[in-house]
Chains A and B, each alone.
Chain A
């Protein structure tokens, strides 16, 4: 991880090293096996699966299951494919991640650089929200959404995820900013920068690593969430995860396993992309935040 990373490994001989890599490779392959099965079966005609040979490579390659999962498969009662729900999920996840990250950054900034009486208790309470199980908030949340008139809508889901994610994002940014020298904020104050100017010009430009952590964390959690989606979404705001469940559990007709596999991969793809693109910053940011706090 970069040239700055310290060499803390114990040095071993060549034979031992080869052995270690072999074992690691084996584990990695084993770990990838389910994904491989999904991938193989998503490009086979259904007949090849039902004939019982799940692990064999396809005799006839086809992208038909993918097209079907994307745009024509039966979801619940409508033959729409996953496409509209994929869009729903995007419409939910992008604002929810953006808002919770920005608010978390602001919270962290205030909790470390504009300390006030009781800020420690406040932070403790926000931290506590990280440990509240989903199920406990379901009914109060449904009530709140009803009162706000946001029940069954995408903005309602965004609100739920922002509220639930705020504890985590605040924790990330608070710990990151705790290690940020306060003298810089004081220097900026003397230079004449106000609350938001300091945040925008001094704090945010150096928040890259923790920003990545927050975005990955929030994106995967919100994208993969099933319970809130199933509880609070209507048909026209239903996220991907719930739609996938409906696709797989459609009780009419034959089970199109190849379409299910393709759908499952489509549902997992965005989080996969986020990890591949930003993953190497993830550990770095988590480490940076955890040094002090």
Chain B
């Protein structure tokens, strides 16, 4: 049994089931990120842990205590909201200590706790200001301070960075990560940003349409996505999912794909157990960074396959150049080195790192286990 257990939890709004039998067990000090597109139910799940939404069926427990129906303030949780939800009429100091005051903590202890947290978050010079006088980043810190000061069992974050500009978002992301490593707290964090999910979490739960699509470490999610949805959702640019046919030659499986000239090209699989799939259609999942120019190919890979193809659009992004081409009848993105010299219409050699390729069943869209 974990520290925070979510067992068979469902949620109905009237007749509509928005969460289907969710099971997640979170260990102490874990950083779990719930990620998914909007409307997938991730915020609803977080609100159910917080006690702001009722649980239709199933159980949520913290430290072995079932908290269904327990008032939010009695669950020993703290939450950071997307809009920060700072009380506009109170000073920063009051904002942070309001929860302690409501729990009957003495003034003296409140002052002490406030100073600790303010020092930790470097907001000690702001304590007498009102939220309206703070910048976005400062408000974010105050909101975290308000959560930290209560020393809760579980921290809940509801898309806390989505109101910040791009630069600040990256800084605060790093800071949240540092804070987690320093304080060793248990965190459940909701976001729709897959990069936040990858960088912050110790484990990720990918949700879509009220189902957990996959629950695992960032590496598992990224390298072995459970299905096409997870593969496409995690990673930017998205994973290429190319229609292909399996051809087994002398026991070795290959993926047959049509190139831009309508010719057939063979890509040898590294590990996929596709013996039973000979002659059948599959979906070949391969990330843009696994398709490179030959010089940029991963030297550690055991199976780099070369393929010639004509290039469509090139998009220099500074650190890399993204190249789009047609393969298997769809647009495929490759990630080449920044200074690579290719132009629209060129036919060039590409290096496919097939160690990183996965195969999906086109019927179920699930990954074929290797």
Contact = CB atoms under 8 A, between A and B. Distances in A.
Interface of A: 181, 183-184, 186-193, 197, 201-202, 205-206
A184 B81 CA distance: 9
A98 B124 CA distance: 41
A206 B89 contact: yes
B73 interface: yes
B170 interface: no
Contacts of B82: 183
A61 to B, nearest CB: 50
A97 B78 CA distance: 40
A205 B94 CA distance: 14
Contacts of A197: 102
A187 B88 contact: no
A191 B73 contact: yes
Contacts of B52: 186, 189-190
Nearest to B78: A190
B87 A188 contact: yes
Counting chain A CB atoms within 10 Å of each CB, the highest count among B51, B82, B85 belongs to B85
Nearest to A185: B85
B99 A181 contact: no
B83 A190 contact: no
Given A188-B87, A189-B52, 18 more contacts: A183-B81, A184-B87, A186-B52, A186-B72, A187-B79, A187-B81, A187-B85, A188-B98, A189-B72, A190-B51, A190-B52, A190-B72, A191-B146, A192-B73, A192-B99, A193-B102, A197-B102, A206-B89
B102 A192 contact: yes
B87 A202 contact: yes
B187 interface: no
Given A183-B82, A183-B85, A190 B50 contact: yes
A190 B99 contact: yes
A192 to B, nearest CB: 4
A190 B149 CA distance: 13
A188 B95 CA distance: 10
A186 B102 contact: no
21 contacts: A184-B88, A186-B50, A189-B72, A190-B51, A190-B72, A190-B73, A190-B77, A190-B78, A190-B79, A190-B99, A191-B73, A191-B99, A191-B102, A191-B146, A192-B102, A193-B73, A193-B98, A201-B98, A202-B87, A206-B88, A206-B89
B103 interface: yes
B176 to A, nearest CB: 18
Nearest to A189: B72
Contacts of B87: 184, 187-188, 201-202
Nearest to A180: B88
Nearest to A207: B89
Contacts of B72: 186, 189-190
Contacts of A192: 73, 99, 102-103
A64 to B, nearest CB: 51
B152 to A, nearest CB: 9
- Residue among B81, B82, B102, B103 with the highest chain A CB neighbour number at 10 A: B102
A156 B71 CA distance: 41
A184 B85 contact: yes
A205 B51 CA distance: 26
Contacts of B89: 202, 205-206
A186 B73 CA distance: 10
Interface string B75-114: 0011101110101110000000011001100000000000
A197 B73 CA distance: 13
From A183, A189, A190, A197, residue with most partner B Cβ within 10 Å = A190
A193 B102 CA distance: 6
Nearest to A184: B85
A206 B131 CA distance: 13
B98 A186 contact: no
Nearest to A191: B99
A189 B53 CA distance: 12
Contacts of B51: 190
B304 to A, nearest CB: 51
A181 B79 CA distance: 16
Contacts of A183: 81-83, 85
Contacts of B81: 183, 186-187
A57 B25 CA distance: 89
Interface in B214-263: none
10 pairs of A and B residues whose beta carbons are closest in the complex? A192-B102, A192-B73, A191-B99, A205-B89, A187-B85, A183-B85, A183-B81, A190-B72, A184-B85, A189-B72
